[in-house]
Amino acid sequence: MELVGKKNATSPIWQYFGFTPDEKGEPADVTQAVCRLCSKVVPVKGSQTTNMYVHLRSRHPAEAAKLAPREGTISKDRSQPSIIGAFSKSTKYKRNSERWAQCTAAVSKYIAKEMVSYHTVEKASFKDLLQTFDKQYELPGRKYFTETAIPNLYNETRDIIAKDLKAANFVALTTDMWSSINMTPYMSVTVHYISEDWKLEAKCLETTFISENHTAEVLAEALSDAMQDWDIEPSKISCITTDNGANIVAAIRRLGWPWLNCFGHNLNVAVNYSLQKEKTKTDRALGICRNINGAFSHSWKRRQELRKAQEQLNLPQRMLITDCTTRWGSTYAMVVRVLEQLPAIKRVFADDKSRRGTLPNVTWQDIAVLEAVRDGLKPVAEFTDILSAENYVTVSSLLPMLQLTKDILKEEETDVEITAGIKRRILEKLDSKYDDSTLQLMRKSTLLDPRYKGDHIDAAQLDVIKSQLEVEMVEYWNMPPVPIRVEEEEEEDAAGTSSSENQPAKRIKTLGRLLGRAKPSVSTSTPVDQRAKSEITSYLQEEVIDGDDKPLDWWKENRRRFPLMANLAKKYLCVTATSTPSERVFSAAGNIITPLRSLLKPEKVNQLVFLAKNL
């Protein structure tokens, strides 16, 4: 039955109710509304709609929920706040309150970790954001964060790392130089160590402003000062990994620290050297690759045409790559990408009639040269990336990698002259980069890695390395022990505090436990030199683990079986094969010292980079 709506009705409730019509189509009885959903009659009086709302909420709650709350009503979930509640919500947190400190600490961590400007706290939208979350929190000004909050966060984080470094028996370092956007020179220092839980840790220690000429004496002094600031004794330094810069190499020699040259830089030098020797044959082809990149990088329309051509030819939807002189891998990537996208590139150039004479012309001779370069560089394409990690052991893989390089770069009968020349010169240059001291370091770390042991060391050198490690184990055993952290239960006993209901019950002290703490990790009945020799013999007799297994996990499980060797494993396996960790520091620094923040003081730069890398 068709119902008649109420004339001049403004309430949205009337969309669900109407009246029974008379013969003329007018409401027969305006006091009896009929529900359009269930046809139930609901009495109404004048303009009142209460009965209809009650019916809709009780019989049709889903439809009632679609209606906005009636003016003048109080819903159950929006009860009127009390005077005390309203007052508490309008008051701000006191600056000495725990909640205010939590909010401010969260903002400080956001500024440091996300590398945003201090000016963020003064932006109206950021303040509105915080007020939306908590109206009682009052954000302090920029000066508070620059002078108090961030320095406090830096000191807290620094104290935590300093405690970890004090507990570490050995550390390894990396360092590199960098200039900011305003040409301010900085030196970064990162530290690497194996924790008590046998995890390889990497921390940024310093980003130091170098105000003088970068002589060996100045760099040596800066490195020495950094170690003194962090209370790191030179005897704890296993090795420092750097590039081949003459000044930094001379600085390390002046300090007398063990040194390892960066494998990535060595490979970069070797590849560039090999390409330079083949320059007369490769210069035109590589130049055409760069011209092709330039043709597409300066024209968005041409890039669109390239994407269309890629779709039509079923080629991967990828952009072209431009090489960089400091990263040999980019040259290889550029050549591979051009060869992959060459059909699409030629189609775009053929359709561009307006500039046909000025676009690069790729001949079959150029393609043959590019393929030869690709084949020569392909065997070592992934080496740098594999050895540039800082969260797993890399130094022990250097020696196996060099031996693998000799195998995969071995000239084949099918190699063309350019490919054979590139392979041969890469090997020549790499061999010249490692002297006896670095090779000895690599051999020791390889022997201490359960994935390799003595597999990559010839018999004569293996005996030498074993003798050297035996001597080091004896020397380390006779060194004063590193202070051990006090356990929580011992601190509680010393303070005389009582345990609460929420704290676990303390273990009862026994004579066995007290004596167990003082018990040495190895038996003292046998001289330490004989124990050292026995450990190496037993260790080498065991099978090597799988290449994908983690060597530090193996040492964690077997450290009690080989306690003397475990100490040396922590010494040598923390060394990094490349100086990439320091270069990553400058990637973060570049996001901090931007054109809008180019006037940051060196002290602030050091704090912000430190927090961005370590938080």
290-328, pLDDT tens digit by residue? 899 888 888 888 889 999 999 999 999 989 888 887 676
Say how far apart CA 416 and CA 409 lie, in whole Å: 13
Residue 575's nearest CA partner among 476, 448, 385, 452 is: 448
- Phi first, then psi, for residue 66 (nearest 5°) are -75, -20
pLDDT average, residue stretch 557-576:
92
- Which pLDDT score, from 0 to 100, does residue 328 have? 66
Mean pLDDT of 371-400: 79
User: Does 332 score more than 90 pLDDT?
Assistant: no
In 115-201, alpha helices (H): 124-133, 142-144, 150-167
Q: Which range has the worst mean pLDDT, 33-37, 47-51, 305-309, 505-509?
A: 505-509
The pLDDT of 266-274, averaged and rounded, is 86
Q: Does 178 score more than 70 pLDDT?
A: yes
pLDDT, tens only, 419-434: 888 888 888 888 888 8
What is the side-by-side order of every strand in the sheet holding 259-261? Answer: 200-209, 185-194, 171-179, 237-242, 259-261
Average pLDDT for residues 354-358, to the nearest whole number?
A: 63
Q: Work out the average pLDDT over 78-93.
A: 60
Proportion of the chain above pLDDT 90, given as a percent? 38
Q: How confident is the model over 251-271, as a mean pLDDT?
A: 90
- Least-confidence region, from 152-166, 383-397, 508-522: 508-522
Is the pLDDT score of 408 beyond 50? yes
pLDDT value at 105 more than 90: yes
Q: What is the pLDDT of residue 80?
A: 55
Q: 354 in helix, strand or coil?
A: helix
More confident call, 519 vs 566: 566
Structure tokens given for 177: 């130089």
Contacts of 3 (CB under 8 A, 6+ apart): 17, 18, 19, 20, 21, 34, 36
pTM (2 decimals)? 0.75
CA 357 to chain centre: 47
What per-residue confidence (pLDDT) applies to 480? 61
Q: How far apart are CA 466 and CA 551, in angstroms?
A: 19
Res 486: pLDDT: 41
Looking at residue 204, what is its pLDDT? Answer: 92
Token readout for 377 is 């560089």
Q: Look at phi and psi of residue 290 and say left if phi exceeds 0, alpha if psi is from -120 to 50, else beta.
A: alpha
Q: Residue 387 and residue 394: Cα distance in Å, rounded?
A: 6
The mean pLDDT value for 411-425 works out to: 86
Q: Which residue has the tokens 């935590």?
A: 160
Strand, helix or coil at 179? strand
Of these ranges, 346-360, 366-380, 398-412, 560-574, the one predicted with the greatest mean pLDDT is: 560-574
Is 474 in contact with 534 (CB distance < 8 Å)?
A: no
Beta carbons within 10 angstroms of residue 615's beta carbon: 13
Q: What is the mean pLDDT of residues 117-125?
A: 91
485-543 tens-digit pLDDT:
444 444 444 444 444 444 444 444 443 444 444 444 555 567 888 999 999 999 999 99
pLDDT tens for each residue of 437-492? 889 999 999 999 999 988 888 888 999 999 999 999 988 887 665 554 444 444 44
pLDDT given for residue 578 in this prediction: 86
Joined together, the tokens standing for residue 441 give 């370091």
Residue 427's pLDDT is: 86
Confidence of residue 90 (pLDDT cuts 50, 70, 90): low
Residue predicted with more confidence, 584 or 489: 584
Of 530, 464, 433, 440, nearest in space to 238 by CA:
440
Q: How is 515-564 classified by DSSP, letter by letter?
A: HHHHS-SS-SSS-HHHHHHHHHHHHHHSPPPPTTS-HHHHHHHHTTTSHH
